[in-house]
Amino acid sequence: MECNKDEARRAIFIAERKISENDYVGAKRFVNKAKNLYPELDGLTQISMMINVYISASNKINVEVDWYGIFRGNPLVEGEAEWYGILGVDPLADDEAMKKQYKKLALLIHPDKNKFQGAGEAFKLVSQAWCLLSDKVKRRAYDQRRAYDQKIKLKARTKQKKHKPASSNRNPNARDGLHSSANAGSNQPAGTRRKPLKPRLVVDFDYYYF
């Protein structure tokens, strides 16, 4: 069991390094590994919640293309964070549910309680989410922007499906549009015999001219 505990600590150490590299999905994978190895390890809940905040923050809405930025190597205009995901609440949650969740996250992520690297930035994101969503006017405006973003993404997915090319009925054994001689007659009706090919004699008269 002590061996599992050491392995779990090593996994958490790697997870912290992944966080510093902004690889939050990789960090979550190592945290899950630590949970499986030693579920009672201290700090598992804190670092897990912190990573969830970062993953939700990376899911932007209203990301736009900057056509001038394409030539500068930065074609995308950074959109707005998914504040509901950062706070970990449903978009239809009431004020009381959001307040309860904010207090829970504050206890787990606040740098005074959470000693993992990146806790300060994660708590800042949670605080920003609470400030926006607890304000009814700001929340209503954000919901409108979020609904517009979902509408655009749905339209793009529908358009992509509509223009998806139909699957071809090509022979999988064919290469570059040419069928092998063994499969050349595979599409003939049953019971029909294939006519033998007549040999052709080609003579190059220029070769024999002297």
Residue 26 has pLDDT above 60, yes or no: yes
For residue 184, the model assigns a pLDDT of 44
Mean pLDDT of 131-135: 95
CA dihedral for 28, 34, 37, 39, sign (positive or negative) = negative
Backbone angles phi, psi at 27, to 5 degrees: -65, -40
For residue 50, the model assigns a pLDDT of 95
Tell me which of 34-48, 66-80, 172-186 is least confident. Answer: 172-186
Q: Which residue has the tokens 């001689």?
A: 181
Q: Which residue has the tokens 């294939």?
A: 194
The whole-angstrom separation of Cα 5 and Cα 38 is 6
Topology annotation, domain 43-157: Helix Hairpins (1.10.287)
The whole-angstrom separation of Cα 125 and Cα 82 is 10
Q: Which residue has the tokens 């090319």?
A: 165
Mean pLDDT of 129-142: 94
For residue 150, the model assigns a pLDDT of 79
For residue 195, the model assigns a pLDDT of 61
Segment 65-104, tens digit of pLDDT: 444 444 555 444 457 889 999 999 999 999 999 999 999 9
Encoded amino acid at 161, one letter = K
For 50-140, list the strands marked E by DSSP. Answer: 64-65, 76-77
Percentage of the chain lying above the pLDDT 70 cut: 69
Tell me which of 56-70, 100-114, 196-210 is least confident. Answer: 196-210
The whole-angstrom separation of Cα 207 and Cα 210 is 8
For residue 190, the model assigns a pLDDT of 54
Is the pLDDT higher at 123 or at 169? 123
Mean pLDDT of 42-49: 94
Residue 161 has pLDDT above 60, yes or no: yes
Tokens encoding 139 = 């929340």
For residue 177, the model assigns a pLDDT of 45
The whole-angstrom separation of Cα 64 and Cα 75 is 9
Long-range pairs for 131-135: beta carbons < 8 A, 24 or more residues apart = 132/83, 133/83, 133/84, 133/87, 133/89, 133/98, 134/95, 134/98, 134/99, 134/102
The whole-angstrom separation of Cα 141 and Cα 71 is 33
Q: Cα 130 from chain centroid? A: 25
**What is this structure's pTM?**
0.66
For residue 149, the model assigns a pLDDT of 78
Cβ atoms of 141 and 83 within 8 Å: the answer is: no
Count of all residues that appear for the chain in the document: 210
- Residue boundaries of the structural domains of the chain: 43-157
Cβ atoms of 65 and 77 within 8 Å: the answer is: yes
Segment 103-112, tens digit of pLDDT: 999 999 999 9
Is the pLDDT higher at 5 or at 167? 5
